[in-house]
């Protein structure tokens, strides 16, 4: 037997080396090669003619008068990583040191489906955003459906790398990165897989830059000289609800996913705010409404629709679900634009972070009560809206009505 500090490359080299055909046992059969790990005493690799396996061996000295030899097969080297084998060997050896007979490695491990369900329940207990939790479960069913009934210990790094590549090729880099990063978080929530998470070491996709018509990479935010054309394109939308949605998105910097869920009951125009029960950070949020924002919402509220939603639509949810527009940039680009414009002001950074539901950095954020800062945030919102109006002031699109009454369909 040989003691050696094993690594993944060394394991592959030893397995490829195979057995010594001249070394035979008492029955005349080829004797396996055994390589003992110098890091976890008791763990070894047994290389046979057709396969190689991780195994662990120890002696149980509290089982009656005579010691009991404990020897367990952990799994093939092609199915598990060295770190997984070391972790399982530590568990077996720890059980032996306590004087107990260990069960087969992997017994009692949850399935990946169970781990996702536990993770979702944990997020709910922590008050995390339910929509984001639903997206995590949806991604698992969409991209990892054939893994959900596997024991978590069966999921290896090569499997994860292959699946990451596959998702990237079929659904794109964003879907691939999001799904596998969510898998990493789910596995980290289970102590037994946190030490040797098969997602660690994955090389993430870097999405290629979006190229604009001029051949240059497109900025995440609208340039200031693009704002008039963008506003004019939005002002020309035939649907007044969608028109108001995009205008309010620019003036508020709100995430579209939360904005479309706005209920009329949350709107208080007299107090100049919309109170969201919970946003992405899992806490209530009072959105301050500048004068232009109040005008947009007031005109939208005048329309009698019978819907509880401010941005209603004939959809399954009852509100706008797809906020994309043909040849007009919307979505997170508009949030980037708002934050970039706000950065041009002298508004305190922590107030700018509060306005867009970002975490305020350091202990300052831990102690800050948003409700006590509402008047300051309202003044900051007015200042940012005034700056946006200033960028549009020299154009015909920035009319006194901010694009005309929202209740009248544009041509």
3-class secondary structure, 368:
coil
How much is the pLDDT for 403?
Answer: 42
Residue 58 pLDDT: 86
CA 181 to chain centre: 6
Triad 203, 205, 206: Cα angle to 5° = 120
pTM (predicted TM-score): 0.59
Query: How many Å apart are CA 128 and CA 33, to the nearest integer?
Result: 52
CA 155 remoteness from chain centre: 19
Output the pLDDT for position 41: 86
Q: What is the pLDDT along the chain (411 residues), one digit of tens a residue?
A: 567 888 888 888 888 888 877 777 667 777 888 889 888 888 998 888 877 888 888 887 764 556 777 788 887 888 778 888 888 888 888 877 877 766 554 455 788 998 999 899 998 888 787 778 889 999 999 999 999 988 888 898 899 999 999 999 999 998 999 999 999 999 998 877 776 789 988 999 987 776 666 676 677 889 888 899 999 999 999 999 999 999 999 999 999 999 999 999 999 999 999 999 988 777 889 999 999 999 999 999 988 678 999 999 998 889 999 999 988 999 999 999 999 999 999 999 989 999 998 888 776 666 677 778 899 999 999 999 999 988 886 554 444 444 433 333 332
Q: Look at residue 366 in the predicted model and tell me its pLDDT.
A: 63
Instruction: Provide φ and ψ at 294, rounded to 5°.
Output: -60, -40
Q: What is the pLDDT of residue 244?
A: 95
Say which residues have a Cβ less than 8 Å from residue 14's Cβ, sequence separation at least 6: 33, 35, 45, 47, 52
Q: 319, 313 in Cβ contact below 8 A?
A: yes
Would you state the torsion angle of the CA atoms of residues 221, 360, 257, 285, taken in this order, to the nearest 10 degrees?
A: -130
Sign of CA dihedral 302, 307, 309, 313: negative
How many other CB atoms sit within 10 Å of the CB of residue 181?
A: 15
Radius of gyration of the chain (CA): 30
Q: What's the pLDDT score for residue 28?
A: 72
Number of H helices, E strands in the chain: 15, 8
* DSSP bridge pairs for 69: 59
């Amino acid at each position: 037997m040989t003691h050696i500090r094993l690594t993944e490359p060394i394991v592959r080299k030893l397995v490829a080396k195979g057995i010594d055909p001249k070394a035979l046992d008492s029955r005349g059969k080829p004797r396996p090669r055994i390589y003992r790990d110098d890091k976890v005493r008791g763990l070894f690799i047994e290389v046979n003619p057709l396969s190689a396996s991780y195994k662990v061996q120890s002696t149980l000295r509290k089982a009656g008068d005579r010691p009991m030899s404990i020897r367990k097969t952990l799994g093939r080297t092609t199915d598990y990583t060295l770190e997984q084998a070391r972790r399982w060997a530590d568990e077996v050896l720890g059980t032996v040191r306590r004087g107990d007979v260990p069960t087969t490695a992997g017994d009692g491990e949850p399935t990946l489906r169970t781990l996702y369900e536990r993770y979702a329940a944990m997020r709910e207990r922590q008050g995390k955003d339910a929509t984001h939790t639903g997206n995590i479960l949806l991604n698992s069913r969409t991209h990892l459906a054939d893994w959900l009934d596997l024991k978590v210990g069966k999921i290896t790094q090569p499997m994860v790398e292959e699946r990451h590549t596959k998702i990237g090729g079929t659904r794109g880099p964003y879907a691939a990165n999001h799904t596998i990063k969510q898998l990493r978080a789910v596995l980290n929530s289970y102590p037994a897989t946190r030490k040797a998470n098969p997602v660690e070491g994955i090389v993430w996709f870097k999405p290629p830059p979006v190229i604009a018509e001029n051949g240059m990479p497109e900025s995440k935010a609208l340039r200031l000289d693009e704002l008039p054309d963008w506003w004019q394109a939005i002002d020309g939308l035939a649907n007044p609800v969608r028109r108001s949605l995009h205008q309010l998105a620019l003036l508020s910097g709100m995430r579209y996913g939360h904005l479309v869920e706005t209920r009329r009951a949350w709107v208080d125009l007299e107090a100049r705010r919309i109170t969201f029960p919970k946003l992405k950070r899992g806490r209530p949020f009072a959105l301050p409404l500048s004068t232009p924002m109040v005008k947009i919402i007031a005109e939208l509220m005048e329309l009698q629709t019978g819907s509880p939603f401010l941005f209603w639509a004939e959809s399954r949810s009852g509100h706008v679900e797809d906020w994309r527009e043909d040849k007009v940039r919307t979505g997170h680009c508009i949030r980037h634009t708002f934050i970039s414009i706000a950065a041009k002001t002298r508004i305190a950074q922590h107030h700018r972070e509060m306005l867009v539901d970002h975490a305020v950095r350091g202990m300052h954020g831990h102690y800050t009560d948003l409700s006590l800062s509402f008047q300051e945030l309202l003044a900051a919102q007015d200042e940012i809206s005034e700056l946006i109006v200033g960028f549009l002031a020299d154009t015909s699109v920035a009319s006194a009505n901010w694009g005309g009454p929202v209740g009248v369909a544009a041509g």
